[in-house]
Amino acid sequence: MKNTREQLDLLNAYRELGSYRAAARLCRTTEETVRRVVERMEAGRTSVGRDAWSRTPRR
């Protein structure tokens, strides 16, 4: 999972270069990761974190 800074780097690289492949090469990750981050950001979901249920403390 990429942290927020890495996600922003991926998004900026994609916007500047215009392709998933070029952004992936620049950021040393896969095209699929770039695509997922870009789609999440454009959909308004800024975080790639886990859902709320996974953060619930165990009893």
Structurally, how many domains does the chain consist of? 1
More confident residue, 37 or 1: 37
Please tell me the distance from the alpha carbon of residue 3 to that of residue 5, in angstroms, as a whole number: 6
- Give the pLDDT confidence of 6-59 residue by residue, as tens digits: 999 999 999 999 999 999 999 999 999 999 999 998 888 755 555 544 555 566
Residue 38 falls inside a structural domain: yes
Residue 55 falls inside a structural domain: no
Residue 9 falls inside a structural domain: yes
| pLDDT for residue 52 | 46
Residue 52 falls inside a structural domain: no
| pLDDT for residue 41 | 87
Residue 13 falls inside a structural domain: yes
Looking at residues 1-5, what average pLDDT do you find? 86
Q: Is there a contact between 37 and 10 (Cβ–Cβ < 8 Å)? A: yes
Quote the domain boundaries for residue 38.
4-45
Q: Is there a contact between 48 and 1 (Cβ–Cβ < 8 Å)? A: yes
Confidence of residue 1 (pLDDT cuts 50, 70, 90): confident
* 27 burial via Cβ count (<10 Å: 0-12, 13-18, 19+): buried
